[in-house]
Copies of this chain bind each other. A is one copy, B any other.
């Protein structure tokens, strides 16, 4: 665990990977469909889809976004009819978010494009390596959820 070289290196690689997947994602958004969806907007769409009727706070926090920026993004997405807002019946302060059918469709298209890229990327790997990678991604994802590491401010 005290192996400095090892950690330095891994940290670097992870950072670069994260950046590159970001670019990849952005490309998917650009090229997937007529709809112009920015990278952050795609994240918002994905996150709304992953949750069930989340509040704005909930989504904004999970994305590590400032609520004010988020508020404006939602306004945009709403005007493009990709997302709808409705008041929480139990608490009038809260807006619950949902994807419109178009929103779902956009999400699907981004996903498909991503899938193409991933297939290309994974074609570089052997069956065994592929499994390793998929397992790892899940492990990391779960670990991150547990530690809540990403969103501390």
Contacts and interface: CB of A to CB of B under 8 A. Distances in A.
Interface of A: 1, 6-8, 10-27, 42-43, 46-47, 50, 63-64, 111, 114-115, 117-122, 124-125, 129, 132-144, 146-147, 149-153
Contacts of A7: 115, 118-119
Nearest to A64: B23
A20 B120 contact: no
Contacts of A8: 111, 115
B17 A151 contact: no
Contact of A63 (B19, B27, B144): B19
Contacts of A114: 11, 14-15
A64 to B, nearest CB: 4
16 contacts: A11-B111, A11-B115, A14-B118, A14-B137, A15-B21, A15-B42, A16-B47, A17-B137, A18-B18, A22-B22, A23-B63, A121-B147, A122-B143, A124-B146, A132-B136, A136-B136
